[in-house]
Amino acid sequence: MSRLRKILREEYIGAIAIGFLLAQAIGGIIGVILQPIIDYFENRGRPQSIFAPQHSSFNWPSFILNVISILLHLLAASLLYYWLYVKKSPETVVAVHSPVTDDDSEGPHE
């Protein structure tokens, strides 16, 4: 798993994947914002009569699915970012011990 993480981080494949997921989320946000506006203008132009009533209900299932898709893209991007760049890989710490002599503890000599 650490080898895969190293490849994704060093070859910039992980950064490209995160960028793609964020672009998908931004596209979904734009779609969620524009869909009610498009529906409004489509319904406004329809002729109104007794036989063709105006369709003014909001498409909640489509809206909810788009919001869930956006949240999943953002969750995947944030988890990938955390796994690749924020989480520290365990490294072995080697302590270097230098013995203290009596000459070092007295301070600088003149």
pLDDT, tens digit (0-9, with 9 covering 90-100), for 14-46: 999 999 999 999 999 999 999 989 888 887 777
Number of Cβ within a 10 Å radius of residue 18: 19
Q: Which residues contact 109 (CB under 8 A, 6 or more apart)?
A: 103
Among candidate residues 27, 24, 17, the one with its CA nearest the CA of residue 85: 17
Q: Where is pLDDT greater, at 103 or 69?
A: 69
| The pTM of the whole model exceeds 0.75 | no
Closest alpha carbon to 68 in 30, 39, 25, 17: 25
How many residues are given for the chain?
110
Q: What is the pLDDT of residue 18?
A: 96
What's the rounded Cα separation, in Å, for the pair 38 and 3? 47
